[in-house]
Amino acid sequence: MPVIDSPAKIDDSNGSLGVLMPGLGAVSTTFIAGTLAIRNGFSSPIGSITQMGSLRLGKRNENREVNIKDFVPLTKLDNLVFGGWDIFDDNCYEAAINAGVIEKELLEQIKPELSLIKPMKAVFDKKFVKKLDGTHIKSVKGHRARIDALRQDIRDFKEKNKLDRAVMIWCGSTEIYQEPHDSVYGSLESFENALDDDNIAMAPSILYAYAALKEGIPYANGAPNLSVDFPAMYSLAAKEKTPIAGKDFKTGQTLMKTILAPGFKARKLGIDGWFSTNILGNRDGEVLDDPESFKTKEVSKLGVLEQILEPEKYPELYGDLYHKVRINYYPPRGDNKEGWDNIDIKGWLGYPMQIKVDFLCRDSILAAPIVLDLALFLDLAKRSGMHGIQEWLSFYFKSPMCKPDLYPVHDLFAQKAKLENTLRHLMGETLITYLGLDYYEDD
Amino acid sequence: MPVIDSPAKIDDSNGSLGVLMPGLGAVSTTFIAGTLAIRNGFSSPIGSITQMGSLRLGKRNENREVNIKDFVPLTKLDNLVFGGWDIFDDNCYEAAINAGVIEKELLEQIKPELSLIKPMKAVFDKKFVKKLDGTHIKSVKGHRARIDALRQDIRDFKEKNKLDRAVMIWCGSTEIYQEPHDSVYGSLESFENALDDDNIAMAPSILYAYAALKEGIPYANGAPNLSVDFPAMYSLAAKEKTPIAGKDFKTGQTLMKTILAPGFKARKLGIDGWFSTNILGNRDGEVLDDPESFKTKEVSKLGVLEQILEPEKYPELYGDLYHKVRINYYPPRGDNKEGWDNIDIKGWLGYPMQIKVDFLCRDSILAAPIVLDLALFLDLAKRSGMHGIQEWLSFYFKSPMCKPDLYPVHDLFAQKAKLENTLRHLMGETLITYLGLDYYEDD
Amino acid sequence: MPVIDSPAKIDDSNGSLGVLMPGLGAVSTTFIAGTLAIRNGFSSPIGSITQMGSLRLGKRNENREVNIKDFVPLTKLDNLVFGGWDIFDDNCYEAAINAGVIEKELLEQIKPELSLIKPMKAVFDKKFVKKLDGTHIKSVKGHRARIDALRQDIRDFKEKNKLDRAVMIWCGSTEIYQEPHDSVYGSLESFENALDDDNIAMAPSILYAYAALKEGIPYANGAPNLSVDFPAMYSLAAKEKTPIAGKDFKTGQTLMKTILAPGFKARKLGIDGWFSTNILGNRDGEVLDDPESFKTKEVSKLGVLEQILEPEKYPELYGDLYHKVRINYYPPRGDNKEGWDNIDIKGWLGYPMQIKVDFLCRDSILAAPIVLDLALFLDLAKRSGMHGIQEWLSFYFKSPMCKPDLYPVHDLFAQKAKLENTLRHLMGETLITYLGLDYYEDD
Amino acid sequence: MPVIDSPAKIDDSNGSLGVLMPGLGAVSTTFIAGTLAIRNGFSSPIGSITQMGSLRLGKRNENREVNIKDFVPLTKLDNLVFGGWDIFDDNCYEAAINAGVIEKELLEQIKPELSLIKPMKAVFDKKFVKKLDGTHIKSVKGHRARIDALRQDIRDFKEKNKLDRAVMIWCGSTEIYQEPHDSVYGSLESFENALDDDNIAMAPSILYAYAALKEGIPYANGAPNLSVDFPAMYSLAAKEKTPIAGKDFKTGQTLMKTILAPGFKARKLGIDGWFSTNILGNRDGEVLDDPESFKTKEVSKLGVLEQILEPEKYPELYGDLYHKVRINYYPPRGDNKEGWDNIDIKGWLGYPMQIKVDFLCRDSILAAPIVLDLALFLDLAKRSGMHGIQEWLSFYFKSPMCKPDLYPVHDLFAQKAKLENTLRHLMGETLITYLGLDYYEDD
């Protein structure tokens, strides 16, 4: 029988929490507007584990089911304060209208609050996002100057809003693909040298992450960008005792993959091919029309099956898997993405079967509650003394970060067990193994 | 940290194992012919966890991955001997040709072995399967006489084939729906009285199960029939120290449901409606054209979502779920079933999304490896001293049996953790909780 | 070369036209509200051939393309006046809100006009539509008395609105299935005797049709009901010199069938099976949950393929076609019907192929422009001296009416040629045969 | 009423007909093997209008339905002799096995006949098909020398097989995209000059076509290549009194488009977007992985909707149509192509609807009967004294050729009317207009 751990020491969840987002576009405005609507009682936080989730404690026949928000000490929605940066100067009401995700009628009801949220000027570098041209950009040059400007923004924001704590969640665009070469990114020293001498271009998402950690605020990376996912940042997070998490919010087609693939694998059904195509018509679709940005996304999307299926372990089942992912810019669909998958599986004696999945999806609707959960859980982690990579939040990411000597866990259900058992562990409850043989011992 | 258990005492797996199946139709001949092909090296046991599965032991960075068949002592495929009963007198080669699942070319290669497997005369009662008319039926009347005839069959089969052990797996048709009224089925005494006085009709699947248990051989129920799923049988299994498992092999559309629904629930996405339709043209389709047989199936298929989603716990997400299942007899499709699902889900702020799943499936191909795994695992359970309901085999069933004071676990991934941790437990290995915080402790 | 006919004598299209509809539900309010929105310039008559269609005249290289509404003398939208009967007393604004087809924002803009349109009390007989209970019903009893009341309604409506002409379009529910027995329906005399002695129940849709014809106003039947489709009515229409048309508006899945099936047949591809399922959640879905109403619909839906494919002529291609249609009441989908078809076709040497069509459809949106076109074309027919069955309007119907010694034309493209050549014929233009060899004669 | 034409003078159909095909790959071997199987009575010519089609003559109530092969004088299947060229030297049995379209069992039955058909050495130029490397290539250089070699092949083939007549059908690969610049291709003189001086590269499909016409044998172009579709060739065809037809066999997804799009247009439903994706794993898929070959195909595939929908005539309905076609090489699918289409349509008041079509298709199975019909109909045309572009065969092509001053007819149903009325015209029967008002004249 598993040992019952003693609960962790966790700081108080009272006080207000700032949620700072680079990128005030479709995802972040859907998150902000939605949270405002929810705390005004107009709507419901569907899709959020922190707000809607519950947890079984103890044995199955003890009937101890608790709401997660009652079980672990989380910041209340009423105590959240929203801010961020963008390359356009639309306020959040205007940006939400442009995004076209939430219907106008609902936005009108929270227009006053939403209009007050205005973006700070962004750090931007067109080299990393070729399809966009921003107009609301910081004028300072040089890595260090830009980082300092961001840190000052953070401090001003906290002071102005009398915040007790803050977190930063990257909600900006996908940047071009980058390899994290060891000579620069391999240690905190080499990385900080590179910041100092300005010879190497640095993706904005890296500068934001660095600024956050230096201010001691947790950072999560919602895009497949490098950002905080290299050894120098791991060291910095350890040094600053600050949690980090990433990368690439798990929504839409990849969410479906991490649900389906573990299912086929659990049943040891082989897979010969998996063809995925997407049509989408929003700004994301436009950015991903650039092959370099698409490559970053593709690496993130393709990796999922490889990691879940472990073809090296099951060569007969997955050794010949042909996996292809396509993203098509298709304006008629607007923000409502559609993903079509064809999966060629094989069973007993190699007989082929086919599965087609058509997902009429809404990306920002799937992403918004992830932003909320990450903000609250990262804040919980910080208050609990946890720092560095928060692997228990893998549940929310397409490409979960983990220690270099481990392999990432992609299976949504293993990720869920990891998240739930981490919460049980924090509160000193028995971990759940699903063994349950003892129920039958007296038979 | 979880405690390491000491390994169970498990009897030797040497010697031959009889696999007896009521019903030598599409599923059982696909299982038998496939196993013969596999052990002759012509084909591969895809879909079988006992043959293809592996298991992680210890920590993620220990790289201790073992094949299940090397880890737990299972009977070898070479030591299996096949037998059964059917209401038609075709031998297994003829029955496999009729079923049309495996192509003729493969069947020819194992024709001699396959032709030798001939069904024993079946116990049959048309009242329970209205669409079929059998010609190969035992002439004895009365419950006790029929049971005795079946027990004699079992003993003859074991003796003739010099078997060390046997298991029985129900592969017959779906019977009409029956409520397990307590006055008859509630205790072993009342049930045996009913067997004695012959006043109440008893479904054949109940008589087979009773015969198996009285012979001390494990019994699994591949259909949604009552069969072994009532208190009198639980008592008998305990008394005879024999394992039982059921019910209704988890294949096709329901397999997909138990993969998808836990995924939506994990992400706290709501579901407003789930419409499932099936087209199939085999004998199964014909039997299920009878509304009374369909009802048994429908109860089994509908229960799945209710149990996984727990609407009473999540009324806002699943309280209004409209779940409809249709099965249509459609001859052009032959044995290749097709299932189409429309799922109406909702996310953040209640925004609707849709998912369509089209599964071009082969039922018997999905069911055959389940028969193999159940035969081997039930035999393992018996040799390990386990008896009564084997809840750890829930993984294989649409309507998993469990103790009356528990609720069944339908989530495929919880079922998988239960199965795997049971194997670890049997062999004295640490159970896996997916916590993994210790990997990061020295950061 | 085809002869050029001289144009028909057609009465003037000036003056106002009343459009009277039994049933002011989803279809008719979508038609009325839409027409009001269109003539106020708020929206567009997409789907209407009379408003959006054009026609080629003469040879392909003459470039004589005309808009249909400029080519034939049709009543202007501004001159339409709407009225009708319903079993509920909601005015058209309220009924449109309940129907939930058109968004509130658009309805608000035409609320004053829409609210003024109030239903007259309906003739209703629950025996023919078992799932509905009306509250706004005429109290008079007896066939003749009911017909007289309806005729008085028509005359009052024309007088009150100073109308020059009127048409009636049945937009009410599907009634239970009825065979048109010759002894009653076979001649005008026997039918009128039956009206007189009141011994036989008469479906309301028959009484409405009779009233319309006796008032000399054209009648179209938008449901699969018997209504105007029997010899007695053909005689009455001839006697009253009045056009009739029917039956069952061609929308959704059946529209797709009459597009696809002629395509397969044109290419001589065989069809082994066609499985069609529908999910819908509106009042229609509820009515069709009654097996007797469903039967009327099913006969209408099943007939389509038989007529198009002519299995008696092509036994090898269509002789074994297994055609199944299912309609499922599924509330989550509301008024937005969804149809899923699986089609098993076969080609060269009998090789099988499959086609799946998923139609996310809106029934009333597809039906509304049909109501408009039928009103305008029936009025044109009347003014052109045409009467009896208007087979050239087959284009709009699932079960086109035709003379008893002919067979109906179901192929959408043959129907279109028939409609277009009828218009050319009316205006004295050359009929189009698509021959076009003369273009190449001088080569 | 249309005039009855007097029948054309048509030469006798007796004697044997050679069918010569550049490219003995999947399509042509499926055609040849299939035709052999059919004339040996092993199989059925499903998909062939010449073999399976029938035609209505006269009025609907005359019941004069004739089989096309009895109505017009076509060469009998028994009198066909097959030959061709290929860049590999496999005989037709070997090539059919490699293609993997027809199952081995059927091929074995006709192996002797099939093995005797061996390709002549091909004219090939890698510049035009970059993904292929041939080994069975004519060594002569220069346009004129190659043409002469091909003409000699044709004469030898006819003599050796004692043929009365021959036709040539291009069944080879898609070549890279080419504009038919007037300075070269605009007149027969400039074109023949270019052949003489050898300065400009000429696609092999052009040289084959030229050779055919100079030998006076009809030529059809099954690929989207330029080949015979430019003014110089039109002049040559006129001069040589020889029929030509093209281009690009209409199969699979484009076939579906020419069925569906005319349907939507007939009902004046708008289309905002049409997204088509294909997955296929055969040699075709490989060739089309080259962007230059794909462009030729894309132009052919994209043109279809533009021509059918006439956005210039219906700007409100089709002016903003976003049409995207994707082809993906996906080996798991082998020769069984799959096409998935998403169509965004709009109806009354602009309300959107969606249609998804998933076509599990077999390209060669759809193409083979087209080869047969074209061979027989082109031979009929030649014997009937028709020459130049045979627009009445548009029915079979994705990009129908027509006179420069006309526009092509893409609508499958207009194409069908054209084909059928041409046959009626040839035999002196009344053309069908679908008017049919006279049936009702005596009412």
Per-residue model confidence as pLDDT tens digits over D46-67? 999 999 999 999 988 888 999 9
**Average pLDDT score, chain A:** 92
Q: What is the DSSP letter of A258?
A: H
> What is the model's pLDDT at position B133?
82
Crossing angle for the helix pair D231-239 and D204-214, to the nearest 10 degrees: 20
| Of the candidate ranges A304-308, A352-356, B43-47, C421-425, the one whose mean pLDDT is the lowest | A304-308
Dihedral, CA of residue D350, residue D356, residue D362 and residue D364, to nearest 10: 20
Counting Cα atoms < 13 Å in the Cβ hemisphere of B89 gives 5
- 3-class secondary-structure state, position A5: coil
Contact of D411 with C436, CB cutoff 8 Å = no
- Residues B30-43 have a mean pLDDT of 95
The residue of chain C nearest to residue B327, with distances taken between CA atoms, is C326
Whether residue D330 lies within 8 A of chain A, CB to CB, comes out as yes
Smallest CA–CA distance, residue B360 to chain C, in Å, is: 11
**All partners of chain B with 3 or more CB pairs under 8 angstroms:** A, C
Residue type at D324 in one-letter notation: K
> What is the model's pLDDT at position D2?
37
C-alpha C109/C-alpha C107 separation (Å) is 5
The residue of chain A nearest to residue D339, with distances taken between CA atoms, is A342
pLDDT in tens, B323-377: 999 988 998 887 788 999 999 999 999 999 999 999 999 989 999 999 999 999 9
Question: What is the separation, in whole angstroms, between the first and last Cα of chain C?
Answer: 19
Phi, psi of D298 (to 5 degrees): -65, -45
Residues in chain D with CB shorter than 8 Å from the CB of C389 are 440, 443
Counting Cα atoms < 13 Å in the Cβ hemisphere of A370 gives 31
Dihedral, CA of residue A354, residue A359, residue A363 and residue A365, to nearest 10: -130
CA dihedral sign of residues C346, C350, C351, C352: positive
- 3-class secondary-structure state, position A338: strand
> What is the model's pLDDT at position A284?
73
Contacts (Cβ under 8 Å, ≥6 apart) of C442: none
> What is the model's pLDDT at position B130?
78
The verdict on whether omega for the bond into residue D301 sits within 30 degrees of 0, i.e. cis, is no
- Between positions 64 and 103 of C, the ones with CB within 8 A of D are 65, 102
> What is the model's pLDDT at position A6?
64
Angle (CA) B381-B384-B387 rounded to 5° is: 55
Look-up of token digits 């009801």? A109
Smallest CA–CA distance, residue A126 to chain B, in Å, is: 32
Residues in chain C with CB shorter than 8 Å from the CB of D319 are none
Phi, psi of B62 (to 5 degrees): -90, -15
Query: What separation in angstroms does the CA of A292 have from each of A127, A209, C269?
Result: 10, 22, 45
The full DSSP string for A160-189 is: HTT-SEEEEEE-SPPPPP----HHHHSSHH
Smallest CA–CA distance, residue D355 to chain C, in Å, is: 4
Environment class of C355 (CB within 10 Å of its CB; exposed 0-12, middle 13-18, buried 19+): buried
Whether residues D434 and C417 touch (CB distance < 8 A) is answered with yes
Residue type at C233 in one-letter notation: M
- 3-class secondary-structure state, position D189: helix
- Between positions 254 and 313 of A, the ones with CB within 8 A of D are 272-273, 275, 277, 279
Residues in chain D with CB shorter than 8 Å from the CB of C406 are 60-61, 439
**Average pLDDT score, chain D:** 92
Among B322, B330, B331, the residue with its CB nearest the CB of C331 is B322
The residue of chain D nearest to residue C344, with distances taken between CA atoms, is D360
> What is the model's pLDDT at position D3?
40
> What is the model's pLDDT at position B362?
92
Residues in chain D with CB shorter than 8 Å from the CB of A272 are 332
Whether residue B413 lies within 8 A of chain C, CB to CB, comes out as no
Query: What separation in angstroms does the CA of C372 have from each of C19, C80, C220, D348?
Result: 9, 10, 11, 11
Full pLDDT tens readout for chain C, 443 residues: 334 456 779 999 999 999 999 999 999 999 999 999 999 999 999 999 999 999 999 988 888 999 999 999 999 999 999 999 999 999 999 999 999 899 998 999 999 999 999 999 999 988 888 777 888 999 999 999 999 999 999 999 999 999 999 999 999 988 888 888 999 999 999 999 999 999 899 999 999 999 999 999 999 999 999 999 999 999 999 999 999 999 999 998 889 999 999 999 999 999 999 999 999 887 777 777 777 777 877 877 788 898 889 999 999 999 999 999 998 899 888 778 899 999 999 999 999 999 999 999 998 999 999 999 999 999 999 999 999 999 999 999 999 999 888 888 888 889 999 999 999 999 999 999 888 777 776 54
C-alpha A345/C-alpha B252 separation (Å) is 12
* pTM for this entry: 0.92
> What is the model's pLDDT at position A256?
93
Whether residue B340 lies within 8 A of chain C, CB to CB, comes out as yes
Counting Cα atoms < 13 Å in the Cβ hemisphere of D419 gives 27
**Which percentage of chain A shows pLDDT scores above 70?**
98
Distance, CA of A177 to chain centre: 18
> What is the model's pLDDT at position A7?
75
The residue of chain C nearest to residue B329, with distances taken between CA atoms, is C324
Whether residues A340 and D338 touch (CB distance < 8 A) is answered with no
Query: What separation in angstroms does the CA of B25 have from each of B38, B46, B123?
Result: 19, 20, 15
Smallest CA–CA distance, residue D272 to chain A, in Å, is: 6
pLDDT classification of D4: cutoffs 50, 70, 90? very low
C-alpha D115/C-alpha D132 separation (Å) is 24
Contact of A74 with A376, CB cutoff 8 Å = yes
> What is the model's pLDDT at position C4?
41
Whether residues C387 and D443 touch (CB distance < 8 A) is answered with yes
- 3-class secondary-structure state, position D353: strand
Smallest CA–CA distance, residue A362 to chain D, in Å, is: 16
> What is the model's pLDDT at position B441?
67
Whether residues C275 and B344 touch (CB distance < 8 A) is answered with no
Contact of D199 with D413, CB cutoff 8 Å = no
Crossing angle for the helix pair A231-239 and A188-197, to the nearest 10 degrees: 100
Crossing angle for the helix pair B363-383 and B252-266, to the nearest 10 degrees: 80
The verdict on whether omega for the bond into residue C247 sits within 30 degrees of 0, i.e. cis, is yes
Q: Which range is most confident: A200-204, A296-300, C175-179?
A: A200-204
Smallest CA–CA distance, residue C258 to chain B, in Å, is: 21
Domains, chain C: 17-249+365-426 (3.40.50.720), 253-360 (3.30.360.10)
Residues in chain D with CB shorter than 8 Å from the CB of C259 are 259-260, 262-263
pLDDT at D301 over 80: no
Q: What is the DSSP letter of C216?
A: T
Smallest CA–CA distance, residue A239 to chain B, in Å, is: 9
Whether residues A332 and D279 touch (CB distance < 8 A) is answered with no
Which of left, alpha, beta for A227 (phi over 0: left; psi -120 to 50: alpha)? left
pLDDT at A356 over 80: yes
Write down the H helix ranges in B11-103.
26-39, 49-52, 68-71, 92-99
Contact of A425 with B437, CB cutoff 8 Å = yes
Residues in chain D with CB shorter than 8 Å from the CB of C353 are 359-362, 365-366
> What is the model's pLDDT at position D443?
45
Interior/surface letters B281-291, b for 16+ CB within 10 angstroms, e for the rest:
bbbbbbbbebe
- Residues D85-89 have a mean pLDDT of 95
Query: What separation in angstroms does the CA of D238 have from each of B242, B356, C284, D75?
Result: 89, 55, 61, 24
Q: Find residue D270's DSSP bridge partners.
A: D346
Smallest CA–CA distance, residue D273 to chain A, in Å, is: 6
pLDDT classification of A286: cutoffs 50, 70, 90? confident
C-alpha B176/C-alpha B174 separation (Å) is 7
Which of A341, A329, A248, A340 is CA-nearest to residue A296?
A248
Contact of B287 with B131, CB cutoff 8 Å = yes
pLDDT classification of A240: cutoffs 50, 70, 90? very high
Contact of B43 with B110, CB cutoff 8 Å = no
The residue of chain A nearest to residue D271, with distances taken between CA atoms, is A332
Whether residue C332 lies within 8 A of chain B, CB to CB, comes out as yes
- Between positions 18 and 37 of C, the ones with CB within 8 A of D are 30, 34, 37
Q: Higher confidence at residue C292 or residue D114?
A: D114
C-alpha A107/C-alpha A93 separation (Å) is 7
> What is the model's pLDDT at position D125?
87
pLDDT at B4 over 50: no
Instruction: Round the CA-based radius of gyration of chain D to a whole number and report it.
Output: 22
Residue type at C19 in one-letter notation: V
**Which percentage of chain D shows pLDDT scores above 90?**
73
Among C102, C347, C432, the residue with its CB nearest the CB of D362 is C347
Look-up of token digits 């000579």? A183
Q: Which of D42, D105, D349, D361 to mutate to test the interface with C (most CBs of C within 10 A)?
A: D349
Whether residues C411 and D413 touch (CB distance < 8 A) is answered with yes
Look-up of token digits 């205006």? C427
CA dihedral sign of residues A123, A126, A127, A129: positive
Residues in chain B with CB shorter than 8 Å from the CB of A44 are 316, 349-350
Which of B308, B205, B295, B198 is CA-nearest to residue B256?
B308
- Residues A69-78 have a mean pLDDT of 97
- Residues A381-401 have a mean pLDDT of 95
C-alpha A85/C-alpha A170 separation (Å) is 10
C-alpha D1/C-alpha C5 separation (Å) is 8
Whether residue A105 lies within 8 A of chain D, CB to CB, comes out as no
C-alpha A80/C-alpha A372 separation (Å) is 10
Among A268, A362, A366, the residue with its CB nearest the CB of B46 is A268
Contact of D129 with D287, CB cutoff 8 Å = yes
The ipTM value here is 0.92
Among A37, A256, A359, the residue with its CB nearest the CB of B349 is A37
**All partners of chain C with 3 or more CB pairs under 8 angstroms:** B, D
Contact of A324 with D285, CB cutoff 8 Å = no
- Residues A39-64 have a mean pLDDT of 92
Crossing angle for the helix pair B252-266 and B291-309, to the nearest 10 degrees: 20
C-alpha D287/C-alpha D289 separation (Å) is 5
Q: Which of C235, C236, C434 to mutate to test the interface with D (most CBs of D within 10 A)?
A: C434
| Length reported for chain D | 443
- 3-class secondary-structure state, position D352: strand
C-alpha B36/C-alpha A29 separation (Å) is 61
Question: What is the separation, in whole angstroms, between the first and last Cα of chain A?
Answer: 19
Among A267, A366, A439, the residue with its CB nearest the CB of B403 is A439
| Length reported for chain B | 443
Smallest CA–CA distance, residue D31 to chain C, in Å, is: 9
Angle (CA) A64-A67-A72 rounded to 5° is: 100
pLDDT in tens, B133-190: 888 999 999 999 999 999 999 999 999 999 999 999 999 988 888 888 999 999 999 9
Among C48, C351, C356, the residue with its CB nearest the CB of D358 is C356
Among D273, D332, D358, the residue with its CB nearest the CB of A330 is D273
The residue of chain B nearest to residue A36, with distances taken between CA atoms, is B349
